[in-house]
Amino acid sequence: MTESAFLSSSRPFLGVSRSTLGRTWVERCDAAQGTVALAIAQTHGLPDVLARVLAGRGIGVHETEGFLNPRLRDLMPDPDVMTDMAHAAERLADAVLRRETVAIFGDYDVDGACSAAVLAEYLRACDVPYLIHIPDRITEGYGPNVDAIRALREQGAGLLVTVDCGISSHEPLAEAKRLGLDSIVLDHHQAPERLPEALALVNPNRQDDLSGLGYLCAAGVVFLAVVALNRVLRRRGYFQGRKEPDLMSSLDLVALATVADVVPLTGLNRAFVRQGLMIMRSRGRIGLAALLDAAGLSGAPESWHLGYLVGPRINAGGRIGDAALGSRLLLSQDVIHAGQLAAELDRLNRERQAIEVMAVAEAEAQAMLLLDRAPDLPVIVTSSPEWHPGVVGLIAARTKERFRRPAFAFTLNPDGTATGSGRSVPGVDLGAAVRAAVEAGLAIKGGGHAMAAGVTIPAADILLFQNFIGERLLEPVGMSLLQDHFAIDATLTAGGAQTSLVAALERAGPFGSGQPEPVFVFPHHRIVEAREVGSGGHVRVRLRGGDGAMIGGIAFRAAGQPLGTALSDGMGNTVHVAGTLSIDRWGGNEKVEVRIMDIARPE
């Protein structure tokens, strides 16, 4: 449903104009889309609920078949449509033919780890030596640095490839050139107007790139680079007498990065994730299989598992441990070693969660004070010298979720700088605002994309930064707050939430950024149980419908928050419950449960 359709809705869904979380509920399908849904159901023989889900996401009758069955071969572009891709592929092919050592410099998040692993795996299949360097978040910071590039050169690297970073790295890439090291950048972050000097700068978000692929994560860009490289090697006769690497086998990594980096699950990305999940379910990658086991996931992984279970564990290494653990795990070919790496990442993730809980509580307290003084504050900026640099992004994310507006969290460093991370809301481009702050001289360095950004500023200038960002984003944030509606796909009853329905809805997936998971309301259901479970502050509930049927539900990270409090205080009361559906698999049994996102009292 479009923003204008939200605003034109004549009345709130089920009369809910203000839910527990302060939102107006609206029906995702407007009247016109309802007509399309009917046509989809009749033409393709689909259940009415699935047809409404498709129509509500802008899918037409003639697009339905291709959407439900996306084929990578139909959606794959020619990689050379990206600026500089042909140059990058030719130089990489030279490195393969010469057996030249390739240095891969990645970011310390999931996208960086997966990007490095995709390229390294291909080089390994071609018997080409490679080095991987993932910088330490605290001692090196984000992106290439001069010392690391010198060290890679001393280790024999003849070609430097930066993945998920490098598009703003003027000085480090200039040093690489001085050392006689060719550089290729494979990135997706917003690019500055003045680009660094390199042999090839492949980034669909370059201002002169007309490929239309700016929605890809870095691993998606790297995968296309590998496809281009493979084509060049084939043309040069490299595979005569030898087997070509299996390009499709790396799509599990591309899928993981695509979901974890919260890029839109549309077009090519959706095909990447659909295909990647199928590959992941075979558990052929030793490292990922070990990590799925460490996360306690025995069944088939779904899209949301990548974002909530797998991604955070890989990120934990870059946040508070060894930043290279993730890429080493993904490339591991030894079951025992992979198990050890997965266990270490799982331990670091638990440690990260403990650190995060205390920091988020402090940040939310700061945010409430700020909003008490200025309720219309467009951007929330919090800071502390006690916060670990590895969790500021998570603090910003939790603050954004709680107060539904962009948020930055900074850790104050001993050298007088502040290192921060920001998270945004739909329609508000945070990366562009941070780049503007850099160009205005208010930030030492920074960048990112629409939904997330990183920045370093003088600690004394936090208020100046907040005012600058707030003024720049005042209008788009205001529009976002005005349009803060909660879209509902349909109503269900506890008895109607069957596993067959969830299976039908999965055909419209995978779901994620830009492809919202279907939200259902269970109207007039009684809360018969609500209790806090686990160490993450989750609230588990039992709901009874008017027909006596029961369904379980869980509200993640809701304890002590408005949603969790409302659930606990509502024991015995009848409420409208909104959420998404999932299948709880335990002891060989399957049952549907609802992931609770909001509740409201019936009028």
What distance in Å separates the CA atoms of residue 268 and residue 208, rounded to the nearest whole number? Answer: 21
For the stretch 44-96, pLDDT in tens is: 999 999 999 999 999 999 999 999 999 999 999 999 999 999 999 999 999 99
* CA-to-CA separations, 196 to 172, 192, 233, 402, 580, in angstroms, rounded: 9, 9, 28, 38, 45
Peptide bond into 196 cis (omega under 30): no
Half-sphere exposure for 600 (CA within 13 Å, toward CB): 22
What distance in Å separates the CA atoms of residue 142 and residue 136, rounded to the nearest whole number? Answer: 8
CB-based contact 149:160 (threshold 8 Å) = yes
What distance in Å separates the CA atoms of residue 543 and residue 528, rounded to the nearest whole number? Answer: 6
CB-based contact 584:542 (threshold 8 Å) = no
CB-based contact 559:507 (threshold 8 Å) = no
- Per-residue exposure over 24-44, b if at least 16 CB sit within 10 Å of its own CB, e if not: bbbbbbbeebeebbebbbeee
Rg (CA), the chain: 24
- Which domains occur in the chain, in start order? 3-66+486-600 (2.40.50.460), 74-249 (3.90.1640.30), 374-483 (3.10.310.30)
Kindly report the number of other CB atoms within 10 A of residue 580's CB atom.
Answer: 19
What distance in Å separates the CA atoms of residue 310 and residue 303, rounded to the nearest whole number? Answer: 10
Given phi > 0 = left and psi -120 to 50 = alpha, else beta, which region is 577? beta
Q: What are phi and psi of 367, to 5 degrees?
A: -65, -40
Average pLDDT over residues 429-447: 93
Average pLDDT over residues 421-440: 93
For the stretch 394-415, pLDDT in tens is: 999 999 999 999 999 999 999 9
- Residue 7 binned pLDDT confidence (cut-offs 50, 70, 90): very low
- Residue 603 binned pLDDT confidence (cut-offs 50, 70, 90): confident
The stretches of 236-334 forming alpha helices (DSSP H) are 251-260, 267-281, 286-294, 303-305, 311-320, 325-331
What distance in Å separates the CA atoms of residue 396 and residue 283, rounded to the nearest whole number? Answer: 33
Outline where DSSP puts E strands in 72-170. 102-106, 130-133, 159-163
* pLDDT at 349 exceeding the cut of 50: yes
* pLDDT at 339 exceeding the cut of 90: yes
Half-sphere exposure for 174 (CA within 13 Å, toward CB): 6
* CA-to-CA separations, 350 to 60, 306, 313, 344, 358, in angstroms, rounded: 44, 17, 9, 10, 13
CB-based contact 392:410 (threshold 8 Å) = yes
For the stretch 297-317, pLDDT in tens is: 888 899 989 998 999 999 999
Average pLDDT over residues 144-167: 97
Q: What are phi and psi of 9, to 5 degrees?
A: -60, 130
What distance in Å separates the CA atoms of residue 84 and residue 110, rounded to the nearest whole number? Answer: 25
* pLDDT at 6 exceeding the cut of 80: no
Q: What is the pLDDT of residue 599?
A: 97
CB-based contact 259:211 (threshold 8 Å) = no
Kindly report the number of other CB atoms within 10 A of residue 89's CB atom.
Answer: 25
What distance in Å separates the CA atoms of residue 428 and residue 432, rounded to the nearest whole number? Answer: 9
* pLDDT at 4 exceeding the cut of 60: no
What distance in Å separates the CA atoms of residue 558 and residue 67, rounded to the nearest whole number? Answer: 34
Percent of the chain with pLDDT over 90: 86
Q: What is the pLDDT of residue 10?
A: 52
Say which amino acid occupies 250.
S
CB-based contact 389:138 (threshold 8 Å) = yes
Q: What is the pLDDT of residue 484?
A: 75
For the stretch 481-503, pLDDT in tens is: 877 789 999 999 999 999 999 99
Mean residue pLDDT of the chain comes to 93
* CA-to-CA separations, 189 to 111, 194, 409, in angstroms, rounded: 12, 14, 20
How much is the pTM?
Answer: 0.89
The stretches of 132-193 forming alpha helices (DSSP H) are 146-154, 170-178
Q: What is the pLDDT of residue 2?
A: 43
